[in-house]
Amino acid sequence: MATRSGEKGLRPTNSILRRTLILLIVCGILSFAVLIGRLYKVMITDHEKYERMAVEQQTRETSVSAFRGTIYDANGNVLAISSTAYNVFISPYEIEYNGEDKVLIATELSRILDVDPNSILEKMKDTKSWYKTIAVKVEDSVAQQVRTFKSENGIIGVHIENDSKRYYPYSTLASNVIGFVGTENKGLEGLEAVYDDYLQGTDGSVVRLTTARGIDLLYTNYENYNDAVDGCDLELTLSVPIQSIAEKYLQQAVRDYDAQNGCAIVMNVNTGEILALACANDYDLNSPWDVSEAVQERLDLIEDEQERSAALRDARLAQWRNFAISDTYEPGSVFKIITMSMALEEGIIDTDDTFYCSGTMPVLGRTELLHCWKSAGHGTQTIKEAAQHSCNTAFAQIGIKVGGELFYDYVEAFGFWNKTGIDLPGEASTRGLWWSEKVFCDKNNLSQLASASFGQTFNVTPIQIITAVSAVANGGNLMEPYIVSRITAPDGEVVYSKEPTVVRSVISRETSDLVCSILESVVGEPEGTGKTAYVAGYHIAGKTGTTTKTAKEAATGVREYMVSFCGFAPANDPEIACLFVLDNPRNKNVYTSGGVMAAPSVGGILSESLGSMGIEPELGLDETGSTDVNVPKLTGMSLEGAEAVLEGLGLEYRVLGGGVKVTDQLPAPGYEVAEGSKIVIYTEGAKTEEMTTMPNLTGLTVSQARSALANAGLYMDTSGASPSNSKVVVSRQSVVGGDEVPKGTVIGVTLIDPSDNGRY
């Protein structure tokens, strides 16, 4: 009994154990299930997340910069190119972890990189960071100094990484066209910005193993390298020789006439290719954020820091602005080319028609008489004579004959209401700068029509004008101007190629030929207002333009002028056109007109550009009957032989040195000099460079200037008005009077006829 009783007493204890065991098993199963769920989440659901965290913890990725594509001119000259540069950065984590001398690092990096040491010390405080930039795009010589410092002091926390840097070999040349890039190698202005997607390429990377702390495991062989893909190359229509010629004449004119701004555009009239585009407000592409010394001096006078900062920003924007594309102006008498073309094309006038100019004329709807620039009037004149005289009243009569509706249609056809589509940023729209059709075509108010006929009271862009004039020159086709001709990938594949695009035909070949002939007379005839663009040997056609800034004068009462000339050559078979514009010339010693200030420069640009293209002048005689002699090559000849050659050409000579063999000469072979000029011959023992003082030629006649130069051992090359005109005088010279120049230098002078003092 006792035993049974005892067994009964054990039953509760076994039950508890059983339940406990079951509970433990259940808890174990639940725990295992939770573990399985957790493992599933970690290994399956969040696999990518933890894999990414592990990779980030165990690897370090370094970017490899792609090189931007190279920009070439039409002849293969490099205008923009990228090369290797280096970025210097510190790892505050490594510097702290390795106990490196922070003051030493800050002091030495400051010395090498020209950086404030306090800014470096401040960056070191972020000890969780692995990357703090100290300097970007430093040259190899500077990076080598950093490497030496690291090596000599066992520094780990200072690093150097490869990058690329943009270089512009020609510095300021075509700066407003090419543009520049920022520190991230992204295009910010010009073609660099427009074609950034093509130029920038794709960066590569290098991935290396690291410890849990992120330190490179340099003893392993693991490294994954993803190649950078360099950007595409651009080939431009620009020509470095022609661009240099345009910039030379523009800079000279801006200095001579104290112009506020200006531009020169050279275009292939048959294709729309831009051969040169120069702006007076150029800048150094290698340091685009720097302003000129004159501007900086003005900025330094501003005491308020915020005001000075705003002025600096405005100055930078002004120097980056492309005047030829982004600014508008009243074209003045250059627009008479368009008025004449539409009237001849429609048969509204012909070459036998005459137009009378008394100096003034009434216009329906105009409260005051319309004035011609010549107050005494031009009398009766044909269309050819009216163009030569640049007669405002004659062209107002022609415009009124055309009528508002037809005139309006031709303005649109020649492209003055729309952007030209040139592949440069910031092209201005002029559609809103014209009157509404209702106002312009009001038959009871012909004031706007009359003014528009000679290019006043409306605005256009320089690129629109040269595009329209090129259409007149090329047979009547309005071409789309462009500046990038081809884009090539790094593997040589051509990914883009631009073909000449005809927008529309605006006039016939017959009208084009007739207008070209008339415009050649504007330059080639004594009565022509554009005769200062004449260059012996070249058929140059063109039209002057002079106008006031109407809107500004109305708003401020201050009168400012825009002077211009648009010409093309050869007039009998046009190849290139040139538009030259000066904004607000302020030299009071020279009469303000396109014929005086702009036409001579266009003559020079066209003749020199054609020469660079292999199109030689046709004539050997100028109108004076004196022969221009091409200087022969004498260097290497015997003295006796050289003397015989010069005597045979009618040239005088002066021998320096006591030798019997010619070692050098002035001027150089190929220069044209007047018959009777003196050539300097150098023989053994002679100094090849003697200096002389440049005389002031301004206001001298041709013979006086030639004599003054001869006395100084210098030579004269004329442009502008014909030297045969006894009234012409020198208006400008390529070297400032008083400067020291080598004897034998050829001095360019511009001739004008002071009696032609009209504002045309």
Could you give the residue numbers annotated as active site? 333
- Using DSSP's 3-state secondary structure scheme, residue 80 falls into strand
Paired tokens of 256: 């001579």
Q: What are the E-state strand segments in 29-74?
A: 59-64, 71-72
CA distances from 211 to 51, 53, 124, 222, 449 (A): 16, 13, 22, 13, 81
CA distances from 451 to 118, 372, 396 (A): 65, 11, 7
- Using DSSP's 3-state secondary structure scheme, residue 358 falls into coil
Amino acid identity of residue 346, one-letter, is E
Phi/psi of residue 475, nearest 5 degrees = 110, 0
Q: What whole-number distance in Å separates Cα of residue 482 and Cα of residue 464?
A: 12
133, 113 contact by CB (below 8 A):
no
Q: What whole-number distance in Å separates Cα of residue 198 and Cα of residue 186?
A: 11
The full DSSP string for 114-160 is: T--HHHHHHHHT-TT-S-EEEEEEE-HHHHHHHHHHHHHHT--SEEE
Paired tokens of 760: 């045309």
Instruction: Please classify residue 301 by burial: count the beta carbons closer than 10 Å to its beta carbon, then call 0-12 exposed, 13-18 middle and 19+ buried.
Output: exposed
The DSSP code for 626 is P
Q: What whole-number distance in Å separates Cα of residue 308 and Cα of residue 295?
A: 11
595, 631 contact by CB (below 8 A):
no
Q: What whole-number distance in Å separates Cα of residue 671 and Cα of residue 631?
A: 5
Q: What whole-number distance in Å separates Cα of residue 336 and Cα of residue 605?
A: 22
Q: What whole-number distance in Å separates Cα of residue 253 and Cα of residue 593?
A: 13
CA distances from 40 to 33, 45, 88 (A): 10, 7, 45
- Using DSSP's 3-state secondary structure scheme, residue 569 falls into strand
Amino acid identity of residue 452, one-letter, is A
CA distances from 754 to 139, 426, 589, 696, 728 (A): 56, 40, 12, 18, 7
